[in-house]
Structure 1
Amino acid sequence: MTTDSVFLPVSLGEAIDKLTILEIKQENIKDRRRNDVELEYNLLLERLGPHVGQHGALYNSMKKVNRLIWDYMDLLRDGNMNDQDYLALCRKTVDYNDIRFRIKNKINYAAGSALKEQKGYKINSVLIEICEGPDTENFVAPIRYYSFLYDQVIIQCGEYCGGLRDAFKDDPTIIFRIGVASESAQFKARFSFPKGHHSAEEILAIFRVDQKALEELL
């Protein structure tokens, strides 16, 4: 007895994650196994195509992260490195799998998916303090970048952050608060912007990130 296919309830983020992995396999597998990959990819794309278009930026980020994990796993399987480098790459792979999980849930939140994946570890938060009205455009990319690295991004600001708030209205992991942050709160990182206007270069410098790092994930 053979089974053509099994339909299981999964979140949209999980399904899109699977689709990006199949796309990466198509790009890397050159022998007859590629036929099976193409069949599965086309079946998923037929159902997921509209969602991919709607969440294109997150789809691209998911594929970038899965591409990095694929490359890291290839290096680990080769085993052609010393113990210290092997351990460092294992840790890096774990970190990128955490990012992968966060992107899946961002897709779920944006799409209003009834199913959402959850992890059992402690939530890691980063605090961003903006003392005056920000230039929204230059803040969006680095804030989104850090929302991939941490489970929660807390943005401490005033009523003037409406434009920035609108940019992340579909992402409940990016939380806006008015007033002064509690000193007792536990944050893994903290970034402060004490003046009203910052150039794009100043913003990246304070965030301790460069354009190359942003493009790796966004």
Structure 2
Amino acid sequence: MHVNHIQTPISPGELIDKITILRLKKLHLTSPEALENIQTELSALEEIFEKKLHSILSPAIDTLIIELQSINASLWEVEDSLRIFERNQSFDTEFIELARSVYKLNDKRAESKRKINEAFGSSIIEEKSYGKINN
């Protein structure tokens, strides 16, 4: 049995989040096979974005998308750093601070996606189960 892909309703924020992550992967990964897979998925999602969302973009939404891209780039950098610490078996104060920053950045990411969904008037809004943490 072969399943090409599955269509499922998602929020604009989730679609844009996935696109920003795929763009990061495209910048950082080097395997030709991985890059081909990333480009296939990215092209499909960008096509949906162009058909469904592009015509209703605004400067405010553009700013939110840039913010989400920046948050995801920060998460990428933190995760890369954590893997270096893990490889070196170094679990010092810097490691702990980096590890804590993951959930803080993920909270910002969820908030950014929510703002995008609200800006588009989405009926699908992702909910997080964890409360806000005071820094």
Give the TM-score band, short-chain normalised: 0.7 to 0.9
Question: Which residue of the other structure, out of 112, 124, 127, is the alignment partner of 1:118?
Answer: 127
Q: How many pairs were matched up?
A: 126
Q: 2:84 aligns to what? A: 78
Query: Does the 8 Å CA contact 1:16/1:52 hold for their aligned counterparts?
Result: no
Inter-CA distance 37–64: structure 2 relative to 1 (3 Å threshold): same
Question: Matched residues in 1 for 2:72 and 2:111: separation?
Answer: 13
Aligned to 1:98: 107
Shift of the alpha carbon at 1:2? Answer: 1.1
Q: Partner amino acid for 2:78? A: Y
After superposing on structure 2, the runs of 4+ consecutive aligned residues of structure 1 that deviate more than 4 Å are none
Encode CA deviations 1:69-124: one digit per residue, 9 max, x unaligned: 00100111112444211111011111111000000000110101011011233357
Q: Percent identity?
A: 30
| Structure 2: distance between partners of 1:60 and 1:5 | 28
Match of residue 96 from structure 2: 87
Select the structure with the greater relative contact order (CA < 8 A; seq sep ≥ 6).
2
C-alpha distance after superposition, 1:2-35 (max 9, x if no partner)? 1110011111111110000001111111221101
Gaps of 5+ in 2: none
The 3-state SS of whatever aligns with 1:10 is coil
User: Which structure: larger Rg?
Assistant: 1
- Return 5+ residue gaps in structure 1 as ranges: 125-187, 190-218
- Please state which structure has a larger fraction of its residues in strand: 1
Query: Do the aligned partners of residues 83 and 110 (structure 1) sit closer, same or farther apart at CA in structure 2, a change above 3 Å counting?
Result: same
Structure 1: distance between partners of 2:54 and 2:92: 40
User: TM-score if structure 2 supplies the norm length?
Assistant: 0.85
- More helix as a share of residues: 2
TM-score for both structures, normalised by structure 1 = 0.54
- The match for 1:138 is none
